[in-house]
């Protein structure tokens, strides 16, 4: 599996986890504001990775992945906030954060490698 296809698969799997987590937050915890923020940023990562696959240039590819990286960082923030405020238990929050941090590392690696090859 190439790094790019790993980013595609991991970002999609992460988006599905985020969707399910938001469904839980809204139905069980009655939390709507933070969960919508998490949903927006957590699903945007995969959409941006997909968009980058059809970039018009190497610079456009890097730019789109930079935006995906920003969304991953924002998602990590919302997860952290939801954990600290007690909406997520520590195990669920830690698992989501680990996935977000893995995506951050993966996207950072792809961006650095792409820039080096320019």
Question: What's the structural domain count of the chain?
Answer: 1
Per-residue confidence (pLDDT) for residue 3, from 0 to 100: 84
| Residue 1 pLDDT exceeds 80 | no
Residue 117 lies in a domain: no
User: Confidence band (pLDDT; 50, 70, 90) for 4?
Assistant: confident
Per-residue confidence (pLDDT) for residue 118, from 0 to 100: 72
What CATH number does residue 93 fall under? 1.20.1440.60
Residue 107 lies in a domain: yes
Residue 118 lies in a domain: no
pLDDT digits (tens, 9 = 90+) for 50-66: 999 999 999 999 999 99
Buried b (16+ CB within 10 A) or exposed e, 55-94: eeeeeebbebbebbbbbbbbbbebbeebbeeebbeeebbe
């Amino acid at each position: 599996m190439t790094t790019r296809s790993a980013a595609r698969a991991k970002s999609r799997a992460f988006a599905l986890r985020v969707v399910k987590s938001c469904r839980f937050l809204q139905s069980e915890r009655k939390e709507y504001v933070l969960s919508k923020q998490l949903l927006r940023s957590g699903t945007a990562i995969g959409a941006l990775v997909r968009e980058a696959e059809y970039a018009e240039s190497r610079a456009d590819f890097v730019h789109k992945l930079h935006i995906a990286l920003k969304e991953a960082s924002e998602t990590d923030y919302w997860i952290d906030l939801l954990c600290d405020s007690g909406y997520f238990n520590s195990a669920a929050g830690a698992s989501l954060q680990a996935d977000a941090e893995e995506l951050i590392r993966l996207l950072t690696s792809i961006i650095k490698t792409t820039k080096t090859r320019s």
